[in-house]
Structure 1
């Protein structure tokens, strides 16, 4: 966390802080209307949330929010009645635009109580057909600086909508970095992540959404343990949904000691017996941080009751053992990007 905080602090010093400019009218080309956010005041707004607020409710086509290089601190909430938002970083690479906040589950709220896991999210996306490209979402809650806070789930992005695309996006956090969810257990919400980078330690990719990680890097941070440095996934897929998380053509990396990170454990929110994790990792490179028994129980919920499988993985952490269920060739033919996205075909 310290290296990320140093980067963010330096970027903040280089970018002017400010609030949204009032009354900016969206431009009419791009295609579609757009506004520009710039921390230095050279755009229509200086805050991302102010630009989101400018999008008309019930919007029926793409509305682009261009974000110039800088660090933009504060929560961003994209409501369900504002679909089709495109958030596009204008830097040379995704490191140059950072949207960040620093709340955790146990962080006190101004009016009393704490934020909770969902409330900790730096960015919450409830509008369908959202896309983000070429930027970074982060939660830089500093665990070491707040030993009094023991509920340390600190979400960078929470999704609650369908047909979401993240393209060349970084997600930075520690525990519970990326929360891929849906409006309710009966609703299937699909997320496609292309060439993204996700980092964290405990359950840092979790939730009940259907999500495809295509050619991504998924990096487990070391917590300094010699035995357990966390869990990559904690899916809570509804039993009625055959498709949870698909990680394909990707890299699972870490500098944690060999065999100290688990691929996943089955999350049953509120002890829901119908939340049966579904995760497939295929055609990917797995580092030595993953051990020979990479799936583990979550409290009293056994991993063997979940729907976990691998296929044609490689690398020092991809050893095939009795504790690593493998897809057959026929099963793998049905565990594809198109199958998971069920009729939706985002540009790949």
Structure 2
């Protein structure tokens, strides 16, 4: 299907915020994205009701989607055609309706048909104290045509001015079994969504228009879409695909803001923020489980488990913040020329290598801290020795503040029962943030200091990434 450019009339109609039933609604009119979120704007702070439905109808009255506040199953939906390890379509828990101050934000269960007319209605009491929106009140949408399938570039704009309104809508538009490079350009704006790239859609680049101004955010976490949430569900509909650690990777792949199970994916020039508050559980901003995943000029924000990389991943010219294990994973990981900021006492990394394969290297990074983080309260890494005895973590030419404990490294089950000889924990050239050589005489005996010749290979990413040179 060919791409149809919007006329000036359509652009104006699309951007208008219409008043229906005494409340401002958007979008309305023509030129609406098929993946559009919906928004209600009030003149006062509002609260959602306990029951009531918001429905999207075709003009013949057929209901195509329903958000039902009284139906707990209505808060589950497929995202990115994700399938479990058993091939079953996975349903994610999400927040279909959210009241934030004077606004109500609404996420439909699926995209709308393109180039079609729709009417939106809302029951009285869906928003407390509001009388609802009837069909005759006139909340009408006409969706625009999407670009042709297989195009090399699609554009996303939260305000509705491009091909799609959501990042996931653009990912979904990429054909299954994609075999060409596709760039998804994301305009500055806030994208409140969970994004998932399945294994069938490799060779994607997600490119933000402004690193600080292009923000993908969601309060996804273990309690919403992880072990805590999935434990009671049949394993066929919840178990992770592409499991790297079969003994432990059962349900922990669904809790990131942006999750990637495809190869050859690049994310650049944007911010990914998991808005789960401190103490809210494991909550990745980005999870990558594929070969040749690159993060360039990105900011990753969360508290626990901010960045998880499996397979082979490379991070450069970026910023990562968190407090507990906020870089973790297995496989080859290289992070260079990047600031890693501790938001509280805790552990910068937890790397889980189960064989003698490549681990994680941090090259020319800066380890900083939030103002309230005490001296000596953070560690370079912690390792669960009983399960991940061959783990490899190397810091080369790193600058670090005094919040790094003199001991540096922690074994969480260090007893005489476990052999530490397979551990590969090391550093070279560590210095203060002012560039002065750092005294590492107090480091744990489980780690070692590399000499210059030993450290040199880690400055070349291909050394840990199976020969792949992401530079």
* Aligned mates of 1:300, 1:117 — CA distance in 2: 25
SS of equivalent residue, structure 1 residue 296: strand
Partner Cα separation in structure 2 for residue 64 and residue 131 of structure 1? 9
Q: Given the alignment, which residue of 135, 141, 152 partners 2:276?
A: 141
CA distances 1:70-122 after superposition (whole Å, capped 9, x unpaired)? 1111211100010000000012xx11111111122123798984995322111
The equivalences for 1:153-164 within 5 A come to 153-164=282-293
Paired with 2:440 and 2:148, the residues of 1 have a C-alpha distance of 55
How far is 1:142 from its partner? 2.0
Aligned residues: 309
Partner in structure 2 of residue 25 of structure 1: 147
Q: Which residue of 2 aligns with 1:342?
A: 466
Q: SS of 2:458's equivalent?
A: coil
Change (3 A) 1:266 1:112: closer
* Distance in 1 (alpha carbons) for counterparts of 2:353 and 2:230: 34
Distance 2:213 2:367 in 1: 24
One of 217, 222, 246 as aligned partner of 1:100: 217
Per-residue CA shift, 1:195-219, capped at 9, x if unaligned? 0111000011011021111100011
Quick one: distance in 2 between partners of 1:25 and 1:90?
Answer: 20
1:179 corresponds in structure 2 to: 308
Kept in 2: contact 1:118–1:155 (CA 8 A): no
**d(CA) in 1 for partners of 2:193 and 2:397?**
37
| Other-structure match for 2:376 | 259
Q: Give the aligned partner of residue 440 of structure 2.
A: 320
Distance 1:303 1:180, change over 3 A: farther
Whole-angstrom distance in 1 between the partners of 2:168 and 2:326: 25
Cα shift readout 1:191-242 (whole Å, capped 9, x = no counterpart):
11110111000011011021111100011112xxxxxx1000000023230x
Deviations 1:163-211 (A, max 9, x none): 0111101110001111112xxxxxxx21111101110000110110211
CA distance in 1, matches of 2:257, 2:149: 27
Q: Give the match's secondary structure for 1:331.
A: helix
Structure 1 contact 17–40 (Cα < 8 Å) conserved: no
Q: 1:26 to 1:220 in 2, by over 3 A?
A: farther
Cα root mean square deviation, aligned: 2.9
Q: Separation in 2 of the partners of 1:44 and 1:18?
A: 18
Structure 2 match to 1:330: 453
Matched-pair contact (CA < 8 Å) for 2:384–2:411: no
Q: 1:272 aligns with which of 380, 383, 387?
A: 387
Q: CA deviation at 1:283?
A: 0.9
Q: Give yes or no for the alignment of 1:61 onto 2:180.
A: yes
For the residues of structure 2 that align with 1:298 and 1:217, how far apart are their CA atoms?
A: 26
TM-score (norm 2): 0.60
Instruction: Evaluate the alpha carbon distance shift between residue 232 and residue 258 of structure 1 in structure 2; reply closer, same or farther with a 3 A threshold.
Output: same
Structure 2's unaligned 5+ residue stretches are: 1-97, 115-144, 239-250
Moved more, 165-174 or 16-25: 16-25
The residue number in structure 2 matching 1:217 is 339
Residue 58 of structure 1: how far off its partner (Å): 1.8
In terms of Rg, which structure is larger?
2
Q: Report the CA distance shift for 1:118/1:111 in structure 2 as closer, same or farther (over 3 A).
A: closer
Q: Distance in 2 between matches of 1:245 and 1:111?
A: 29
The unaligned stretches of length 5 or more in structure 1 are 1-8, 147-151, 182-188, 223-228
The CA distance in 2 between the partners of 1:140 and 1:13, in whole Å, is 20
Aligned-partner SS, 2:394 = strand
Match for 1:73 among 155, 174, 192?
192
Using the TM superposition, give the Cα deviation of residue 325 of structure 1 relative to its aligned residue in structure 2, in angstroms.
1.7
Residue matched to 1:240: 356
* Superposition pairs of residues 11-22 of structure 1, within 5 angstroms: 22=114
After TM superposition, the score normalised by the length of structure 1 is 0.80
